Amino acid sequence: MRRPLIAALLLASVAAPASAATRVEHAAVVRDAALAKSEAYPILEDLTTTVGQRMAGTPAEARARDWAVKAMQNAGLANIKTEPFPLKVWIRGAESAEIVGSHPQKLAVAALGYSGATPAEGITAPVVYFADYKALEDAAPGSLAGKIAFIDHRMMRTQDGSSYGTNGPVRRSGPALAQSKGAAAVLIRSLGTDSHRNPHTGGTVATPGTDPIPSLALSLPDAEQLARLVQRGPVTLKLVSTPRTEMGTSANVSGEIPGSAANEIVVIGGHLDSWDLGNGVIDDGAGVAITLAAAKAIKDAGVKPRRTIRVVFWGAEELGLLGAAAYAEAHKAENIVMAAESDSGADRIYRVSSKVSEAGLPLIAEITRTLAPLGIAPTRDNNAGGGPDVGALGRQGAGILELEQDMSRYFDLHHTPDDTLDKIDRAQLDQNTAAWAAATWLAASDDRPLRTK
């Protein structure tokens, strides 16, 4: 029976500003309450059931913002704001890939974000195989004229997701690189670790001043099928992909638990937009739900932070961190002392990392100690990135906290039709939320400087 103890601690907390000892005691109370039952799952269930996918700049993302304002109100946040910015919206069209000739068969594909279109009737062209990104780099200029470049690679399952980083160029810049050598279109082996016939979509970066070529991801089994066929002899493919772009609007949504030193701000959050194939549950409905539930856990504990806790839901992350750039520019004059994003799924936190001033390291040690009972390890260094949408804030000098999530199964689901609610493990989600609640409270109730410049 822990209830009387929690109640006693909570009552004590309301009366006086937290001393060093009670700050840590409150962190444990907030942590244990969230671990027992956090609000993350109902928040995540509601967003991903009532809105579903939330492609950047579309009416679905706008409905997600309406949902976010209400969810922040329900969590008791103040100063709720929506800050719009313009963007080029990318809208998926028809898409298919079919081997023609002596081994005719269909392949499972999905077009990549900001990729270009084929004519409605498609294109038919020979395939040139590249074992990895480096092999494509080595291809002679002009050697891909009129051909479809197929870029293979081997992405590994890792706890820290690092294999996504090392193979990322295949998707992000592979299409532009192949285009620079004359390619008519690009197929990539999906950046993923599953064995389903689900292609993984994702963003690409075009060379400025060019019209991007059609680029699609093959599911992993289909990439292996195509690799086997290429080994047997020349392969010709018919590709159809008819996406289009138009100008539109996205926005960042934020709400606060105001602190007594209100001009010192701790930013936590996730991104509100998602890809269009699944329901955007692990990417990044989970980050939205975890950070809002963490703030709500602090509110519900009745404790008042010294620093303002600001929950930010960024828009248009998937199309190239567009909300993050707009946010950092609009808020560069503010004293954001720390920023942290949850954008690696909904599984457990296993390690803390940071990038804070020397003077802030004792706070990170305090966070680490408080999270240790959740099975969370300390950092290896003080050089963390903190999640995609807080990178720009970190470069402006905000201290960075990263609660590293176990990404072992993240890339089975990431950017696929399988990113759905049934994949959520509620015990892991609550452990994750407990870590966020306790760490956010410790940072927001503290006064040690964290900024790196």
Where does 80-219 have alpha helices with state H?
Answer: 133-137, 162-172, 174-180
Which of 152, 284, 366, 389 binds Zn ion (CB under 5 A)? It is: 284
Please name the residues in contact with 17: beta carbons below 8 A apart, sequence gap of 6 or more: 260, 304, 306
- Nearest approach in angstroms of CB 209 to Zn ion is 28
Cα–Cα distance for residue pair 93/111, rounded to 1 Å = 8
Which of 152, 283, 404, 419 binds Zn ion (CB under 5 A)? It is: 283
Residues 329-368 that bind Zn ion (CB under 5 A): 343
Phi-psi region of 136 (alpha: psi -120 to 50; beta: other; left: phi over 0): alpha
Instruction: Provide the CB-side half-sphere exposure for 257 (13 A, CA).
Output: 30
- Nearest approach in angstroms of CB 273 to Zn ion is 9
Q: Please say which residue, 41 or 410, places its beta carbon nearer to Zn ion.
A: 410
Strands 335-341 and 261-271: parallel
In the block, tokens 């963490």 appear at 294
Q: Please say which residue, 219 or 405, places its beta carbon nearer to Zn ion.
A: 405
Q: Please say which residue, 150 or 313, places its beta carbon nearer to Zn ion.
A: 313
Give the other-Cβ count within 10 Å of 91's Cβ: 14
Q: Please say which residue, 95 or 284, places its beta carbon nearer to Zn ion.
A: 284
- Nearest approach in angstroms of CB 432 to Zn ion is 15
Q: Please say which residue, 283 or 430, places its beta carbon nearer to Zn ion.
A: 283
- Nearest approach in angstroms of CB 411 to Zn ion is 12
256 near Zn ion, rule: CB under 5 A: no
Taking contact as CB under 5 A, which single stretch among the options 18-26, 278-286, 376-384, 410-418 is the one that binds Zn ion? 278-286
How many residues touch Zn ion (CB under 5 A)?
3
Which residues partner with 117 through β-bridges?
Answer: none
What is the rounded radius of gyration, in angstroms, for the C-alpha atoms of the chain?
23
Phi-psi region of 316 (alpha: psi -120 to 50; beta: other; left: phi over 0): left
Of the candidates 314, 330, 306, the residue with the CA atom closest to the CA atom of residue 258: 306
Taking contact as CB under 5 A, which single stretch among the options 23-31, 276-284, 323-331, 398-406 is the one that binds Zn ion? 276-284
- Nearest approach in angstroms of CB 259 to Zn ion is 28
Are residues 325 and 66 in contact, defined by beta-carbon separation less than 8 angstroms?
A: no
Q: Please say which residue, 169 or 285, places its beta carbon nearer to Zn ion.
A: 285
- Nearest approach in angstroms of CB 419 to Zn ion is 10
Cα–Cα distance for residue pair 53/420, rounded to 1 Å = 10
Q: Please say which residue, 194 or 222, places its beta carbon nearer to Zn ion.
A: 194
- Nearest approach in angstroms of CB 164 to Zn ion is 11
- Nearest approach in angstroms of CB 47 to Zn ion is 14
Cα–Cα distance for residue pair 339/211, rounded to 1 Å = 36
- Nearest approach in angstroms of CB 283 to Zn ion is 4
Of the candidates 354, 360, 342, 364, the residue with the CA atom closest to the CA atom of residue 431: 342
Q: Please say which residue, 343 or 404, places its beta carbon nearer to Zn ion.
A: 343
C-alpha distances in Å from residue 313, one per residue of 100, 156, 171: 45, 30, 25
Q: Please say which residue, 284 or 404, places its beta carbon nearer to Zn ion.
A: 284
Taking contact as CB under 5 A, which single stretch among the options 198-206, 225-233, 281-289, 361-369 is the one that binds Zn ion? 281-289
Are residues 76 and 309 in contact, defined by beta-carbon separation less than 8 angstroms?
A: no
Structure tokens at 324: 């993050």
Q: Please say which residue, 128 or 281, places its beta carbon nearer to Zn ion.
A: 281
Strands 349-355 and 399-405: antiparallel
In the block, tokens 């709500």 appear at 296
- Nearest approach in angstroms of CB 122 to Zn ion is 31
Q: Please say which residue, 164 or 441, places its beta carbon nearer to Zn ion.
A: 164
- Nearest approach in angstroms of CB 220 to Zn ion is 20
In the block, tokens 């940072």 appear at 443
Burial of 241 (0-12, 13-18, 19+ CB in 10 A): buried
Taking contact as CB under 5 A, which single stretch among the options 49-57, 284-292, 404-412, 416-424 is the one that binds Zn ion? 284-292
Instruction: Provide the CB-side half-sphere exposure for 185 (13 A, CA).
Output: 28
**Contact positions toward Zn ion, by CB under 5 A?**
283-284, 343
